[in-house]
Structures are given as C-alpha cells and as structure tokens.
A = this chain, B = another copy of it.
Amino acid sequence: MGIGDAIRRALSSWTKKEGPHGDIVLGTRVRLARNSKDVPFPGASSKEQLQSVLDQARSFPDVLKDEGSFVFYDMAEMDALDRDMLVEKHLISPNHARHTFHRGVILRSDEDISIMVNEEDHLRIQVLFPGLQLQQAWKHASRVDDCLESKFGYAFDKERGYLTACPTNVGTGMRASVMLHLPALARVNRLREVLGTVSQFGLVVRGLYGEGSESYGNIYQLSNQVTLGHREEEMIEHLERVTKQIIQSERQAREYLSQPERRLAVEDTVYRAFGVLSFARILSTEEAMQLLSDVRLGMDLGFIHHLDKEILKELMVMIRAAHLQKIMGQNLPPEERDKLRASLVREKLNPQALKKS
C-alpha cells in the first residue's frame, strides 16, 4: 500500500478552519489510550502479538465506516519524510515516526481523527478540531472508542478503569489538550504568572510539539495531568474552565496593548515582522514562528487586514522541516531548508495583497 492523498495533502482540516475562540485557541485535541485485554502492552509483547494487533487494526476503517472515511497505513511501508509530516501535522507522535516496525496509523480523510496502532499503547485514538471544541472532540473520540471497543476487547479494570502502558494514563486513558496562541501575554511578560498556576489545577503546559519540546511562536499546549479518579466529562469541563480563564487573560493583555499609548509600538513589531517575513532570504523555524506569531497578533488586533488568517496557521505547520522537504520531494540540508522556508513564506505573504495603511 502506498501513501495516500491524506498524507500528501499539505494540511489537515483543523489547521485550515477556524473554530470557536480561534483567535487564541488554535486547536483542541482529545486522545484515548486503549489496550487489548488479550495481548501484553506493546513494550512487553512479542512480534507475533504486535502483528496480530496490527492485522486486527486493518479492519478498523470498515468498523468505523459510520464515522467517516478512514484509511489504514502500515508505518513500515511509509517513507521517513511522510512519517515526519504526520508528526508535524500532530497526527502521530515523534516516537511513532521513529520506530515503525509492526506499527500503523488509521486516518480519517479530513485528518480530524487519527488512530496510532502499537505506539506505547495498542491504540491511541485522537480527535483534533480547530478552536476550542473540547466537548465536541470528546464526543467524537467517545463514539470512535465505542465502535472499536465492540470489536477489540479492551483491557479494563472495574476499580482502576482502562489499563495503559504508562501508569499516568490509567483510568480514563484520556488526555485532552488545547493549543493556545498567547502573544499578548508573552509581550506583557505575564506568561509565567498566568500559566504557572495551572499545575495547581491538575493541568500541565507544554510547547507546541508535546512533552519536552520548546515553545516556538508563543504557542502552548495545555492538558489534563490526571487521568484517574474523575469522569471524562468532569475533566473536560475543568480544562475548559481553566482554558477560558487563560483566554480572558490573553484578551485583557490584547486590550491593554491596543490602548492608544501602546498601539504604535505593537504595530511597529507587527509590521516589522511582516516586512522581514515578506523579504528575508533565510529563515530558521524558530525565528519564522516568532514572526508569524507577531503577524497573527497584528491580524487579531486589527492592525493588518487583507491577509487570510488561516495562512498563518498553515505556515506554522508548513515551515517545519519535513513539510519543506516534502514540498521539494527530497531531503535537504538545514541551510537549504532555511532558504526554502524563506521563499515559501515570501510567496504566501505577498506584500502586494496588504492593504496600504
């Protein structure tokens, strides 16, 4: 089986659409960790056992046909660049892209739903929606979960709930998260204060690409830490409540930056970022992300018009290394990537399209 259109397509639907509170919440993710009751966790099972899980998973697109059009891919048959692209699109984990043997992924055609097979757990069901849509994402994940449960036979314990390879996932097996763009809080130096308190509420903050990754472009991922002792709905509601508080803080900071006495300095940053993005010949990922963050803030504050908001979200994914290499159809050394990144951004942000102001 070759690599389907779903992978070749540069962008998932969640990056192209703007959801509720989309000026601050780029996306919502809910993932469920599930394991078979008949087979040891992937880290402890034999090749044959892993293969049996993978073979079962081949039938999932059929099992899930009421939930949309799904396709199964064997990771071992996918080339490295395609795998890295799926990571950059947030559809699989970096770990899943590196270790491919007896692993698979099932993607819905719009890429809103993906299922990793034989990652840390046998199944990782993920729903990824634009904007703040925790309830909806949870509902979709739950429906997919119900379909697979009827077929797969989950490892479940009445006391502890769903059993998972890592004890931090035991219970609901659910990790719900929101991807937040917080440029105004960063600019007024309130990020630490606002995000520092979330651990008290059983939540955790990470950079854009999950655990251990730095934050580029003022994008942070907020998710539940605890999976045990609460119902999924409670956790979702709790995460939503805290997210809305952060949204409010970010809105206050944006309001503050829009005041006449501060507006010019912010406009200056925003337009300089636009100028550099529009003309630079060399751009690192880190710098490009920061500049895109500045420009996006400018659009959200109404300083920059005539520029499609989704371009920024698209670019934040497209400027990643694997995406660039996919566009060129070959592996590129870092300096070539920086050059290609700059030319791609330049092409997208045509300054001619900018309203004169």
**Chain A contact residues, CB within 8 Å of chain B:** 264-265, 267-268, 271-272, 274-282, 339, 342, 351-352
Contacts and interface: CB of A to CB of B under 8 A. Distances in A.
A280 B276 contact: no
A278 B275 contact: yes
Identical chains bound together, number: 2
B264 A339 contact: yes
Contacts of A278: 275, 279, 351
Contacts of A351: 278, 351-352
A267 B276 CA distance: 12
Given A264-B282, A272-B279, A275-B277, 17 more contacts: A268-B281, A268-B282, A271-B279, A271-B280, A271-B281, A272-B275, A272-B276, A272-B281, A274-B275, A275-B275, A275-B276, A275-B278, A275-B279, A275-B280, A276-B276, A351-B351, A352-B352
A274 B279 contact: yes
A264 B281 contact: yes
Contacts of A275: 272, 274-280
Nearest to A278: B275
Contacts of A342: 268
For the complex of A and B, 3 pairs with smallest distance between CB atoms: A275-B275, A275-B279, A268-B281
Nearest to A283: B268
Nearest to A274: B279
A346 to B, nearest CB: 9
